[in-house]
Chain A
Amino acid sequence: MSGQIAFILRRVALTLPTLFVMSLVVFLIIRLVPGDPVRTMLGFRATDANVAELRQQLGLDQSLFTQYVVWIGNLLHGDLGKDIVSHAPLSELLAQRLPVTFELTGLSMLLAVAFGVPLGVWAASGGKWVNRLTEGFVIFGIAIPDFWLGIMLVLVFTGILAVLPPTGYTPFLKNPLGNLRYMVLPVSTLAVGEAAYILRTTRGAVKAVLGRPFVTFLRAKGLSPRRILFGHVLRNAGPSIVTVIGIQVGVLLGGAIIVESLFALPGVGRLIVTGINQRNYPTVQVGVLAIATIFIVVSLITDLIVGWLDPRVADGAGT
């Protein structure tokens, strides 16, 4: 048990340097984008004096080092800063936008797992035609880019069938059914590729475990194929599947940036895209850092689940 706790503490401690490096990269990369936030805000006709004044107000006349230290210092005190265009506190903006992104990625992953895992298990233990069918879906799902699939879905379900709205959003708590109607297309767009990845991983992992000698011994003990599959094979294939799901959450969060823009969903992804266009440094920094933090937390949870599924991982023993 103490081994488990040490494993968790070690894993949590490892996330801190990752977050630090992440904050540095975000801070520097947005400043590498050509364009000046102050010029963008004030327009072409602004005088040099106006520009210098606003630059000083925003602290952008300071050295990069000072700017970074001030930003991190404020973050550590719980002050996320303000959007420099709308002047809204970023904590408020994030509180509005994060639930949308959570709903989009969460529903997509749920759908992808609900299809990918059972189909993968079926493909691993099934016959030739099941394999061909799922292989076709895997190639399709992985090869199709999100933005193309999204546009095609809008074309079919809005343009031709006229059954779903192309863009827009209404909060779930206000109008649950309306919310889900807006979510169907973006969630499906993201879920197809995810389901394909998860299907392929599950099929490979289950096939590999089915070929291991302990499965023969389980058969020799007189267990049914069902019990062997659900009691033993899935648990052994679990770490690979869970690891890929954890990594794919990152891919989903990246895909959400495109899909939110495509379907005009007011999530963090769209906040970041708008922020980049406006050279809105604080908003982009905090938005990207928020998404990175979510991914890091998900990775942490993934590792803990893997450690629980496979006791050898938590013990630090080889496989």
Chain B
Amino acid sequence: MSVLSFTSVSVRFGGNTPAVNGVSLEVKPGEIFGIVGESGSGKSTLANAVMGLLPGTAQVAGSIAVNGREVLGLDEPSLRQIRGAEVAMIFQDASASLDPTWSVGDQIAETIRAHGPVRSAEAKARAIALMEEVGIPDAPRRYSDVPHRFSGGMRQRIVIAAAVANNPKLLIADEPTTALDVTLQAQVLALIDRLRRSHGTTVLLITHDLGVVAQVCDRVGVMYGGKLLEVASASDLFARPSHPYTRALLAANPAGAPRGSRLPVIPSEWSVESLPAAEASNG
């Protein structure tokens, strides 16, 4: 059974153009599945649809199953039982993800206590253990510090600790390294990979960064204009891209271009309708 499966998922915000257009996808247990695409390709909308975090104006069609259970159409209380327990989510800007008036430790303990009767002392002990696990030095003392007393990288570690506090089966990471510099990006990706290995967490990693994909992803889906165009293993995607958009995307990567030459670009007039979508049987 897949941890997360999308079947013909479409999301519309009022207008005629869907933000997500007929996406079908199976994410296997324990893998890091990357979704790449440029801004506006629908990758974040797809991720938010899993958590039921889309604004009220969104119309979602199709089916999204988490551990075999349909999540579309669930009411708020049922969604709350899934959020932060079965499925966790982290966002781009860690500094903005934490409440500036709460101590970081309490924000981790809060996730634990939101999903079951746990005494505050026990929640605190578990939060400190989590802080140590994600690499916060001197965790017991720093439990009561507020977020602005931490660096950006440390804050993203705390956000991860707060997200995965209940050992979720699935972690959705929406551009988790975009706001960080390159060294910190590598550290945070390594942390996500380590958590995946030690806890068996499946990870859906949303990014526009092909370097991130190459570094940690097992498989990758490429999105453009709301459609999922191609799904491949990370190594195949870079070695043998099959879709014309993927080839254009990889060609636009400055790392491979000769010095002084003009970089290839993706023509803005490419129409989504003319592009073939990936087959549903890619799982």
Contacts and interface: CB of A to CB of B under 8 A. Distances in A.
A43 interface: no
Interface stretch (A75-83, A151-159, A221-229, A282-290): A221-229
B99 A220 contact: no
A219 B53 CA distance: 8
Contact of A221 (B102, B148, B149, B162): B162
B148 A317 contact: yes
Contacts of B98: 214, 217
Contacts of A315: 148-149
A232 B53 CA distance: 18
A74 interface: no
A220 B115 contact: no
B80 A222 contact: yes
Contacts of A227: 114
Interface stretch (A7-15, A20-28, A172-180, A306-314): A306-314
Contact of A232 (B89, B90, B91, B99): B99
B101 A220 contact: no
The interface size bin for chain A is 20 to 34
A236 interface: yes
A284 to B, nearest CB: 43
Given A221-B111, A222-B115, A213 B83 contact: no
Contacts of A220: 51, 53, 83-84, 88-91, 163
Contact of B146 (A214, A217, A221, A311): A311
A222 B81 contact: yes
B218 interface: no
B236 to A, nearest CB: 32
A222 B53 contact: no
B91 A223 contact: no
A76 B80 CA distance: 62
B83 A217 contact: no
B175 to A, nearest CB: 12
B163 A236 contact: no
Interface in B154-173: 159, 162-163
Interface string B222-241: 00000000000000000000
B209 interface: no
Interface size classification for chain B = 20 to 34
B96 interface: yes
A300 B115 CA distance: 41
Nearest to A235: B101
Contacts of B133: none
Contacts of A235: 99, 101-102
Contacts of B26: none
A209 B103 CA distance: 18
Nearest to A319: B100
Q: Give the interface centre of B85, B100, B115 by most chain A CB atoms within 10 Å.
A: B100
A309 to B, nearest CB: 7
Contacts of B82: 222
A218 interface: yes
A128 interface: no
A227 B51 CA distance: 18
A45 interface: no
A87 interface: no
Contacts of B97: 213-214, 216-217
B93 A213 contact: yes
Interface of A: 212-214, 216-225, 227, 231-232, 235-236, 309-312, 315, 317, 319
Given A213-B93, A235-B102, A236-B100, 5 more contacts: A214-B97, A214-B99, A217-B159, A232-B99, A317-B148
12 contacts: A214-B98, A221-B88, A221-B114, A222-B81, A222-B83, A222-B84, A223-B80, A223-B110, A231-B110, A235-B101, A236-B99, A315-B148
